[in-house]
Structure 1
Amino acid sequence: MTLEAGTLNRRVSLQRKVVAQDQTTEAQVETWVEVAKVWANIRYLNGAETIKAATPTSIAKASIRIRARDDVSDSWRVVRTKGGKDTFFNITAVLLDEQGGEFIDLAVETGGSHG
């Protein structure tokens, strides 16, 4: 399967979590840093509503296709900014293109407490 450039029509940020020292309190804090901005194709697969801490919460599952990279991990996240609003997608699996090696599919979830 050949990856056509026109199908990658959304700009997203790949981010990974790092531990840094807060300069005021000197405490160790987790924060997200951008690794790269890439073009992607986002396909929503399904959504569900669950109850979390007695509050209804919506969770959507999606697949995000990007050009092949060998550094993406399921501990990372994807951020899509549209109209000044960020949508955070937690990566649950990194699926390799076994035939051509042109792309990877990121199985992701958004909503709930993701982000």
Structure 2
Amino acid sequence: MTLHDGDLKTRIRFERKTVARDPLGGAGKPQWSEVVSVWAKVTNNLAATTEAVAAGADRYREQVRIDIRSREVDPQWRIVLRGRHFDIKSIALSNDRSELAIIAIAGVSDG
């Protein structure tokens, strides 16, 4: 896989779950906070999504492939893409270690 600058057309945001203290110092509710925002190449025509749509499924979990320049990504993070939350299912580093391919699925967790 070789990413060219023109391929990176979609802005995505990585978020991680944090726990903030309430104003009185007690335990707070978990919340998502932004880690970083990057440009990516997003492909959503993966077999799982295509097969579900072709089979006439009313509900399905959208699966996307996201290609980005190499950087540290924690599988516990989530991706926000066009206002939708995607859970990271797999991360693969290219042979030359310059790019990452991420498989992510929408609608798995409560976000």
Give TM class, smaller chain. 0.7 to 0.9
SS state of the match for residue 2, structure 2?
Answer: coil
Q: What are structure 1's unaligned runs of at least 5 residues? A: 50-55
1:58 to 32, 57, 60: 60
SS state of the match for residue 20, structure 2?
Answer: strand
> Which structure 1 residue ranges, 4+ long, deviate > 3 Å from structure 2?
none
What's the TM-score, normalizing by structure 1? 0.77
Distance 1:106 1:112 in 2: 16
What's the TM-score, normalizing by structure 2? 0.79
Distance 1:80 1:7 in 2: 16
Matched residue count? 103
Distance 2:110 2:63 in 1: 11
- 1:58 is matched by which residue type in structure 2? Y
* Matched residue, 1:67: 69
* Matched residue, 1:31: 31
SS state of the match for residue 36, structure 1?
Answer: strand
* Matched residue, 2:87: 90
The alpha carbon displacement at 1:114 in A equals: 4.8
* Matched residue, 2:41: 41
- 1:59 is matched by which residue type in structure 2? R
Higher mean C-alpha displacement, 40-49 vs 1-10: 40-49
The alpha carbon displacement at 1:21 in A equals: 1.5
SS state of the match for residue 6, structure 1?
Answer: helix
The alpha carbon displacement at 1:30 in A equals: 1.0
* Structure with the higher helix share, 1 or 2: 2
How many percent of aligned residue pairs carry the same amino acid?
33
- Closer/same/farther in 2, CA of residues 114 and 39 from structure 1, 3 Å limit: farther
The alpha carbon displacement at 1:9 in A equals: 0.6
Distance 1:96 1:103 in 2: 6
SS state of the match for residue 62, structure 2?
Answer: strand
